[in-house]
Amino acid sequence: MTRADIVAAARRWRGTPYVHQASLIHVGCDCLGLVRGVWRDIIGDEPEAAPAYAPDWAEALSAETLLDAAHRHFRVVALSDFREGDVLLFRFREHLPAKHLGIAISTTHMIHAHAGACVAEVAIGPHWRKKLVAAFAFPGIVD
């Protein structure tokens, strides 16, 4: 699997409507569902089942659930070194756990699912850069 394979798989999800907890291409997904779907497309079976979660799970749990899961299944990448195909993790508020994921399609753009919108490519501008807290590479990438 190459980084180009990851980007191509992520791009196939464009236009998929936002549906909380879903992970079905062209049917619905949330940000985790997008990453889960790309994992299935490029690697195969998911390494663990995602538990049910409410929209305010991060605020309610006060635990770094996504960050911990990313450490279990992906390789850590320095924020200054992320590349196309890497998974990006964002924290919306400084005092709360990180709760949003995207997949870099370049060092300046990502694909993500966001409430109220369809999966789309967006610029990783100043708004997103200041919220970026971690980057991870899918296992088994051949650079």
pLDDT tens-digit map of 71-83: 999 999 999 999 9
Mean pLDDT across the stretch 85-104?
A: 94
Mean pLDDT across the stretch 91-119?
A: 94
Q: Is residue 142 part of a domain?
A: no
Q: Is residue 49 part of a domain?
A: yes
Domain carrying residue 105: 3-137
pTM of the model: 0.95
Instruction: Give the CATH number for residue 71.
Output: 3.90.1720.10
Give me the chain's average pLDDT, please: 94
State the pLDDT confidence band at 136, using cuts at 50, 70 and 90. Answer: very high
Q: Is residue 23 part of a domain?
A: yes
How many separate domains does the chain show? 1
Q: Which residue has the higher pLDDT, 61 or 94?
A: 94
Contact 88, 135 (CB under 8 A): yes
The full 3-state SS of the chain, as one line of letters, equals CCHHHHHHHHHCCCCCEECCCCEECCCEECHHHHHHHHHHHHCCCCCCCCCCCCCCHHHHHCCCHHHHHHHHHCEEECHHHCCCCCEEEECCCCCCCCCEEEEECCCCEEEECCCCCECEEEECCHHHHCCEEEEEECCCCCC
pLDDT at 58: 67
Q: Is residue 143 part of a domain?
A: no
Q: Which residue has the higher pLDDT, 47 or 60?
A: 47
